[in-house]
Amino acid sequence: MKVEIRFGEPRDVALITQLIRELARYEKLEHEVAATEEKVAKALFGKRPYAETLIAEVNGEPAGFALFFHNFSTFLAQPGIYLEDLFVKPEQRSHGVGRALLERLAQIAVQRDCGRLEWAVLDWNEDAIRFYERLGAKPNAEWTVYRLADESLRALAGK
């Protein structure tokens, strides 16, 4: 079985949206998904793309995806890559698809002179945590992620 990794293209909008929903279902967060094909198309392929995707295919069929964007480390004075989503379809897990996606992301990070590749993982997702640690990733336990969204975000913005 050969895993092929390619960049997402506008023709993949429906697939990317479907994979986002499958990921949300897996994470038990489907009720939070507001993504539509129109929003995904605008965010990824519009006038100002905010993120990029990699699509994994096995035998020409979609097997998973990674959605990522650049951030910046002031301490390193270098860009980084933040992996927002990594999802492999359940029937394709344990066949090297996740590793192939992360290898390609690492290659992109090195090619783009990024100082790091980072992501968050849900505490309960022990399979993913073991997978990431086998790759050499380390948890950043000294940091707590904060988020402003919905009403709190609008209130702070004065809207």
Q: What pLDDT is stored for residue 131 in this prediction?
A: 92
Q: What pLDDT is stored for residue 130 in this prediction?
A: 93
Residue 151 lies in domain: 3-156
What is the domain count for the chain?
1
Amino acid at 133: E
Among residues 26, 50, 82, 132, the one annotated as catalytic is 132
Query: In which element (H, E) is residue 63 found?
Result: strand 61-73
Task: Please report where in the chains the tokens 């429906």 appear, as a residue.
Answer: 14
CATH number, domain of 100, equals: 3.40.630.30
Question: Is 146 tagged catalytic?
Answer: no
Residue 81, classified by CB atoms within 10 Å of its CB into exposed (0-12), middle (13-18) or buried (19+), is buried
Q: 25-76: per-residue pLDDT in tens?
A: 999 999 999 999 999 999 999 999 999 999 999 999 999 999 999 999 999 9
